Amino acid sequence: MPALAARLADVQVSASVLMGMKARELAAKGIKVISLTQGEPDFATPAHAIEAAHQAALKGDTKYPPQGGTPALKAAIRRKFKRDNGLDYSDDEILVTNGGKQSIYNAFMATLDPGDEVVIPAPYWVSYADMAKVAGGVPVTVSCPQNNGFKLRPEDLEAAITPRTKWVMLNFPNNPTGAACSREEMKALAEVLLRHPHVWVMTDDMYEHLVYDGFEFCTIAEVEPRLKDRTLTINGASKTYAMTGWRIGFCGGPKELIKGMFNMQGQATSGVSTVGQAAAVAALDGPQDLVAERAAEYRNRRDFVVEALNGAPGMACHKPEGAFYVFPNIAACLGKTTRGGVRIENDTDFALALLEEAHVGVVQGAAYGMSPYVRISYATGMEELREAMGRIQEFCRGLS
């Protein structure tokens, strides 16, 4: 059999996908599994967005889309960036992509040469490092431990940048920790980046509207306008509007970068679903009160989950500023044995045993570049969360 490309040797299937698959395998056997592995809102897509897609289809808007996005959606994205972030972009500085993930992939493929470095704060979303590798880049991770609130310190960023650095990745609110940077903290990072004009800055702002307790979101090109001409600001409809399956991402950035990304997209997927783009226009331009209402519900879930996990023997859970994840430390569970006879040596052992014995799916922190932690998504209903937290507490009580 012919061989696969060597570039796949260091690229792994997402751990959250694998744990989700294991959870579904157990469910297929009739076992009631509560999967807290996926970063997917349990809410419905807003009705007016669905209706906009329906009307677009009825009107025959079902042909090949413009490669970079429809004029209507680009206009809505421009309004969104201005309204929410104080950023002005022209149409040729905006690209619509198949989910925010393709924005990242396009950017790496359009800019990275073999050996170029990508600075990635850890813990990090699992795909950042693998996408950098596929594009020929070298991921350089920077530890952001819990005693720093899982946030990137300016001195650590400074130490990570070299002459080979091509990109610095920012993702706040963060997946998997939910950590978010204040304006002062973001300004301090911007001061470092201003000293390194050869570095592009990529900010994944997917969770911008999911912040709690009066926390104010900010994005780096807004905080430091002098960085705007080398910053790619990425967002999308998935998390804010519960539109994961519609696959609508978008980004704003310098014209020449967007042009390169447009070219790359043309060789991969071309344009994005026309009816999906119509739905996204309605979501971005429509009533926004639903966003705040859902964020309030996520906050209630966060508070419940954090308290419950801190009540589980051996777990210590930090309260995050945003997103819909918690990242509890399980160090005190290591070296113990489950009721089923499994010895817990690391966070992968913990996640697998929790799934097999308590039938709760979580993802090991090792997948995100930091152990011994697990990522738990609370983007599910309170009834399931209550049962899941009870199962986790009982599982931890059974460790000896």
pLDDT in tens, 29-79: 888 899 999 889 999 999 999 999 999 999 999 999 999 999 999 999 999
* Distance separating alpha carbons of residues 36 and 309, to the nearest angstrom: 13
**Looking at residues 115-119, what average pLDDT do you find?**
98
Per-residue pLDDT for 131 more than 90?
A: yes
Structure tokens, 274: 């026309």
Name residues whose C-beta falls within 8 Å of residue 336's C-beta, 6 or more positions apart in sequence: 314, 343, 344, 399, 400
Residue 26's identity, in one-letter code, is: L
6-44+290-397 has CATH 3.90.1150.10 classification: yes
Q: What is the CA radius of gyration of the chain?
A: 21
Check for a shared fold between 6-44+290-397 and 47-285. no
Structure confidence at residue 270 (pLDDT): 96
Q: Which CATH class is domain 47-285?
A: alpha beta
pLDDT tens per residue across span 361-392: 999 999 999 999 999 999 999 999 999 999 99
More confident residue, 39 or 116: 116
Q: Count CB neighbours of 241 within 10 A.
A: 26
The residue ranges of DSSP E strands in the chain, in sequence order, are 34-35, 94-98, 117-122, 138-143, 165-170, 200-204, 231-236, 248-252, 325-326, 360-361, 363-364, 374-377
Domain boundaries, the chain: 6-44+290-397, 47-285
pTM of the model: 0.95
Structure tokens, 153: 């310190």
**CA geometry: angle 176, 253, 257, nearest 5 deg:** 105
Structure confidence at residue 3 (pLDDT): 86
Structure confidence at residue 188 (pLDDT): 98
% of the chain residues with pLDDT over 90: 91
Kindly indicate the confidence band of residue 94, based on its pLDDT and cuts at 50, 70 and 90.
very high
First and final C-alpha spacing in the chain: 48
* Distance separating alpha carbons of residues 199 and 15, to the nearest angstrom: 30
Structure confidence at residue 108 (pLDDT): 98
Per-residue pLDDT for 27 more than 80?
A: no
DSSP string, 39-68: ----SPPPHHHHHHHHHHHHTT--SPPPTT
Per-residue pLDDT for 14 more than 80?
A: no
Structure confidence at residue 122 (pLDDT): 98
pLDDT tens per residue across span 281-304: 999 999 999 999 999 999 999 999
Q: Please, are residues 367 and 141 in contact by the beta-carbon 8 Å criterion?
A: no
Structure confidence at residue 31 (pLDDT): 83
